[in-house]
Structure 1
Amino acid sequence: MALGPRLEVSQTQRLSMTPQLRQAIALLQMTNLELSDHIAEEAEKNPLLELVEPDPPDDIPVLPFDTVRNHDTESFTSLPSTRYSGKLDGLDSLENIEDEKTLRDSLREEIHLSNRNVERVNIALVLIDELDEQGWLTAPLFEISDRLGVSQAAIEEALEALQACEPVGIGARNLQECLELQLKEAGNFTAVMQVLTTNLDAVAGNELTRLETLADVPRHELDDAIKVLRQLNPRPVAYFVNDFVQIAIADVSVSLGPLGSWAVELNTDALPRALVNEKYFSEVAKDGSEASEYVTECRANARFLVKAMDQRAKTILRVATVIVRHQNRFFEEGINGLRPLTLSTVATELGIHESTVSRVTNGKYLYCQRGTFELRFFFVQGIRRSDGGSDMAAPVVREKIRKLVAEEQPDNVLSDEKIAKNLQEDGVDVARRTVAKYREAMGIPSSSRRRRKHT
């Protein structure tokens, strides 16, 4: 067979990435706050794009579960930010656009990188959103435990993971704990320092005689300790205020409807509203001048932007509704009610690309009676059930392992094999090595170490 160069002609299809299409995909990833800023900037540059002051809508679009499947975008109620509907062709083709990181983003990333326990990560992500403007966690742990439906011990473990992140002192529940976290990190948490942190009122009042008696140290040592204490930062996020003080504004809310099913509502109050000023266009475009060409281009850009905003809102609502339908037990039972769910499952049901689901769930929040959660929170891995029932979410399996270990008797410490057998009897098809993997990820010692601890 002779070898040589030859010319072949073939046809391929490739989506042309226009600037407008890139903008539409960027809008899909933006939070509502970022979207508002972006639209305001565009309105300053485009005389045909007009911002509309928000008014509380009479009717908030609600999408019941039974209307999600097999519906295209045209079947959804128009939002206050739109003037016409339509699809954005090729929306799923652009890779994710990286946004500027905030401190909350950095904390989430650090939690993911430093923890293999998915349940601990999920709880820690909730705690990050609970932090106040000082970086403190002021909500009582028992309250968070009740809302999430997990043990307080699980909350404490997640808090410990959060407090191990930078900046030091993040996640402290009060001033004392904030200072102690910094002292421990620096290796300065001495007995004298402990006296000072437990008597901050005396430090503030400069009650040196009282403190000297309590610490039982010479005055010069006490003075040195107080000097170190005063150099600590009582507000962990002091240098990150501009990007940390961000309220997690819910994009959608979930409430129990009159028929006993969960209803998903779009938070239209958080959406910017804009329209195309057609009247101004008509006045300028009729003379056919150079200005006419300019406003024609401005109108096209404004129309596309308004259309992209409409599509973004509809997509968020559709994705959130599918998530809620799959995870409806969470809203009744808490974390133990989570079911396995993947991005591809949601994408397949809606007939959209998986990357679109990823963009929509990143930085978008859902509010319910249990708190405010990022949509990504609801995507969890699953464990197959041996009794033929629905797969069980990995966090639920880990909680079962935690409870088995917590309830074991000193004279009957459970090995990984025994734990696996107990779970199998409960219908959870899990191997011994999987139990060992989850146990280690949760920081639970092996059975031999736990047995030695009891002796």
Structure 2
Amino acid sequence: MALGPRLDLRQSQSLVMTPQLQQAIKLLALSNLEIETFISDALEANPLLDLGSAGAVGDGEGGEPEVDLRRTTPERSDADRLIGEGRGGEDQPLDIDPAGIDADRDTGDGQGEPRHGPDASGADAEWGSALVGSGSETGPGLDEREGAGPSLAEHLEAQVGAAAPDALTAAVARYIIGQLDDAGYLAAGNEELASDLGIEVAQVRAALKVVQSLDPTGVGARDLAECIALQAIEADRYDPCMARLIENLDLVARGDVSRLKRLCNVDDEDFAEMLAELRSYDPRPGLRFGGEPGGAVTPDILLVPVAGGGWDLRLNQASLPRLVVNREYYVELRGSCADKGARGWLSEKLADANWLIKALDQRQKTILKVASELVRHQEGFFRHGVAHLKPLTLRTVAEAIGMHESTVSRVTSNKYLNCPRGTFELKYFFGSGVASADGEGGASAEAVKAAIRQLIDAEDPKAILSDDALVELLKAKGFELARRTVAKYREAIGLGSSVQRRRQKKLATRG
């Protein structure tokens, strides 16, 4: 066999991602607000694109109908086949009615709500301006906040796992963290939070206590007095005199020193020391961190119940601009194109504009498909609360709607759903679980832990439940678990063995 250079022809097949397909995949992972920025850049780069009214994308000319983002249809476009990565065949239409809702309805993003915290009253505003140190009136400047590390919500959520006694309390604490404003204050009351999550007020109080124990001290307070009191307690300076001083912050703001000294029953020296201590506290502890995502979140999807027991699911049209092709301008430009290169450039811009509109249209349809499947699977949560959250995986949703897991993962990233219980990230509805006793469906790990805690809290001190007994009682409730799994969940929520609990309850009875 001779050795030497030679030329061979070979045929091969490979999957190549075109720039258009890469762009369509990128759009799936963007939130509605990020889409606005993307469209602004596209408008600058393509003279044939134009911006219409919010709520739809389409051609904009009378010859071709516009595509309403609020409507879902079973047809599959070329973009659908490329983006969806489906298994072929006809798509099943959505069971959820995408009918319109009142555009003026409160979306739960916090706008229009009464103000709370240190800026809620004139006295509090004066108090905030009188403080020195880190608690300035305006908070950190843009240069201080930029690149300052994690946001307030991220900083607090990183501490929840170690501070919460059980998974349910941790879940409620994370929800409370999501309701905090930039300064770290909580506007919602305990009853409102309990109603939103479908749990007892006592569970909200326990979770709020966990949040208020986190760093920085003072977050989770409902007003300025509570914020300062939490910091005084942490510093071990919350004696009766300091308590009375904190209860009369309006007098501090007015500078009524003589009356304050009488109320606190202290002399000039002690009062000066107390006032210096008071001014060392931070009235807005949350402003040490970045404002996002601790601030208000604009939901991408709106969900409201409708008469007859169904759901009204639609995209938030307030944050969706309408993109159209200006065909009149295209015709005008084409008539003035004298050379072949200019006509080719114009045709390329028209093709890019049409593709972008199709990709945006398919993005909306894909988001609605994924969201509708989430609502179908987690309907118990939306109707009854967090205890009814079911286990769910990306694969389950992907198989149900005929798409790839990676597509579902992109769709659920940076997307928020607003419902009567609040605003939740789509990733919130995914989690592990256990099988049910009847072999149908399942339950989330949080629901199982809540059931174990309920059984142990209700046990008779003279008849402590063993892990085997817990297995049988949980089976009667519909949970199929092994004894080792029950023991693992019991230990995870901080409950001892039957021997330890018998000892503890004996001591409690004697006490």
TM-score category by the smaller chain?
0.7 to 0.9
TM-score by length of 2: 0.71
Offset at residue 445 of structure 1 (A): 5.5
Partner of 1:248: 297
Give 1:308's aligned residue. 359
> 1:145 aligned to 2:194?
yes
- Say yes or no: does 1:357 pair with 2:408: yes
Separation of aligned partners in 2, 1:33 and 1:337: 31
Distance in 2 separating the partners of 1:403 and 1:10: 69
1-side partners of 2:158 and 2:47: how far apart? 43
Q: Check 1:219–1:429 CA distance in 2 against 1; reply closer, same or farther (3 A cut).
A: farther
Q: Percent identity over the alignment?
A: 39
> 2:184 & 2:373 partners in 1: Cα distance?
33
Change (3 A) 1:90 1:372: closer
The corresponding residue for 1:81 is none
Find 1:347's aligned residue among 398, 401, 421: 398
The offset of 1:317, in angstroms, is 0.2
- The amino acid of 1:159's aligned partner reads L
Counterpart in the other structure of 2:29: 29
Q: In the alignment, is the contact (CA less than 8 A) between 1:134 and 1:238 conserved in 2?
A: yes
1:262-273 equivalences in 2 (<5 Å): 262-273=311-322
Check the 8 A contact 1:262/1:328 in 2, yes or no. no
Q: Which moved more, 1:324-333 or 1:295-304?
A: 295-304
Residue identity opposite 2:80 in structure 1: K
Distance 1:61 1:414 in 2: 53
Contact 1:117 1:438 in 2 (8 A): no
TM-score by structure 1 length?
A: 0.79
Q: Is the 8 A contact 1:256 1:263 kept in 2?
A: yes
Tell me which of 373, 396, 411 is aligned to 2:447.
396
Give the Cα–Cα distance (whole angstroms) in 2 for the partners of residues 73 and 146 of structure 1: 41
Shift of residue 275, structure 1, vs aligned partner: 1.6
Quote the Cα distance in structure 1 between the aligned partners of 2:47 and 2:419.
39
Closer, same or farther in 2 for the Cα pair 1:217/1:151, shift >3 Å? same
Alignment CA distance shift 1:161-1:276 (3 Å): farther
Separation (CA, whole Å) in 2 of partners of 1:12 and 1:111: 54
Which of the residues 45, 61, 67 maps onto 2:70? 61
> Structure 2 counterpart of 1:47, which letter?
P
Aligned partner of residue 237 in structure 1, secondary structure: helix
What residue in structure 1 maps to residue 369 of structure 2? 318
Superimposed CA distance per residue, residues 80-132 of structure 1 (whole angstroms, 9 cap, x where no aligned partner): xxxxx73363677xxxxxxx997366257526765695433432343233223
Q: Which residue, out of 388, 395, 408, partners 1:337?
A: 388
Partners of 1:427 and 1:226 in 2: CA distance: 59
Match of 2:329 among 280, 287, 292: 280
SS at match of 1:87: helix
Letter in 2 for 1:152: V
C-alpha spacing 1:11/1:259, structure 2 compared with 1 (3 Å): farther
Structure 2 residue 89 is matched with structure 1 residue 89: no
Say if 2:292 is the partner of 1:299: no
Aligned 1:110-129 pairs, distance under 5 A: 110=158, 114=162, 117-129=166-178
Deviation at residue 17 of structure 1 after TM alignment: 4.4
The question of whether the paired residues in 2 share the 8 Å contact of 1:102 and 1:244 is answered with: no
Taking the aligned partners of 1:280 and 1:58, their CA distance within structure 2 comes to 21
Q: Which moved more, 1:394-403 or 1:175-184?
A: 175-184
Residues 30-45 of structure 1 aligned to structure 2 (within 5 Å): 30-45=30-45
Cα distance 1:58–1:283, how it changes in 2: closer, same or farther (>3 A)? closer
Q: What residue number does 2:421 align with?
A: 370
Go from structure 1 to structure 2 and tell me whether the alpha carbon gap of 1:245 and 1:389 turns closer, same or farther (over 3 Å shift).
Answer: closer
Counterpart secondary structure, 1:254? strand
1:216-263 Cα deviation digits (max 9, x unpaired): 555334322322322322223335565357432232223334443334
Distance apart, 1:390 and its partner CA: 3.1
Corresponding residue for 2:154? 106
CA distance in 1, matches of 2:292, 2:423: 19
Q: Which moved more, 1:364-373 or 1:205-214?
A: 205-214
Residue 24 of structure 1 contacts residue 91 of structure 1 at CA under 8 Å; is this kept in 2?
Answer: no
| Contact 1:382/1:394 (8 A) holds in 2 | yes
Count of residues in correspondence between the two structures: 424
**In angstroms, what is the RMSD of aligned CA positions?**
3.7
Aligned counterparts of 2:372 and 2:297: Cα–Cα separation in 1: 19
Amino acid in the other structure paired with 2:301: V
Matches within 5 A, 1:130-169: 130-169=179-218
> Counterpart of 1:50 in 2: which secondary structure?
strand
Task: Report deviation, 1:164.
Answer: 4.6
Other structure's SS at 1:139 match? coil
Q: SS of the counterpart of 1:142?
A: helix
Of residues 51-60 and 360-369 in structure 1, the stretch that sits farther from structure 2 once superposed is 51-60
Query: CA, structure 1 residues 122+319, in 2 after alignment: closer, same or farther (shift >3 Å)?
Result: farther
Q: Distance in 1 between matches of 2:169 and 2:436?
A: 23
Q: Secondary structure at the match of 1:366?
A: strand
Conserved in 2, the CA contact under 8 Å of 1:384 and 1:392? yes
Distance 2:488 2:268 in 1: 52
Evaluate the alpha carbon distance shift between residue 388 and residue 347 of structure 1 in structure 2; reply closer, same or farther with a 3 A threshold. Answer: closer
Q: Which runs of 5+ in 1 are unaligned?
A: 1-8, 75-84, 93-99
| Structure 1 residues 428 and 402: CA distance shift in structure 2, 3 A | same
Q: Note the residue ranges of structure 2 that are not aligned, 5 or more in a row.
A: 1-8, 57-65, 86-146
Aligned to 1:173: 222
Q: Is 1:424 equivalent to 2:433 in the alignment?
A: no
Structure 2 CA distance, aligned partners of 1:193 and 1:445? 40
The 2-side partners of 1:433 and 1:180 are apart by 44
Q: Residues 262-288 of structure 1, C-alpha deviation per residue, up to 9 Å, x if partnerless?
A: 342233332122122233233324433
